[in-house]
Each structure stands twice: as C-alpha cells, then as structure tokens.
Amino acid sequence: MSVWASWLEAIGFLGNLLNRYTPRMPSEPVFAVIDTETTGFNKRYDRIIELTAVRADAYFNPVDS
C-alpha cells in the first residue's frame, strides 16, 4: 500500500469517527485531571509512588475521583 493510500485510509477512518461523534451534555464528565507523586525527577532511579485522577464536568466541578 502506498503512502498516499495509507493517508487516504486514515482520513476516511477519522471522517467516520467524526460522523459518529455525539457531543456530551455539560453535566457529563468531559475530562480528567491526573496527578502523579514521584520520588524524584530521574526516570532511571526514581519511581511513581502515587497516582490520582479526578473527573470533572464542563464547568470544572469534580464529578468523581
């Protein structure tokens, strides 16, 4: 498959996704904020010790954590 054919296939796939997209109501969760707690900033020696996620609605009100 040529690069051009792959590109057209990807565009068609994205177009199909957009056609099936239905906007969410503002009362539904629309994003999540994720916080990480680490032992440092060096990816070789330090590690993640805690993860937290909070879902929020369109008005930045927490919905779930």
Query: What are the pLDDT tens digits along the chain (65 aa)?
Result: 676 677 767 777 777 777 777 776 666 667 888 999 999 988 889 999 999 888 887 777 888 76
Q: How many CA atoms lie within 13 A of 2 on its CB side?
A: 3
Predicted TM-score (pTM) of the model is 0.45
Q: Which residue has the tokens 């009100």?
A: 61
Q: Where are the chain's structural domains?
A: 3-56
Q: How many CA atoms lie within 13 A of 45 on its CB side?
A: 3
- For residue 28, CA distances in Å to 40, 52, 65 come to 35, 20, 14
Decide if 7 contacts 15 (C-beta within 8 A).
no
Partner residues linked to 48 by β-bridges: 38
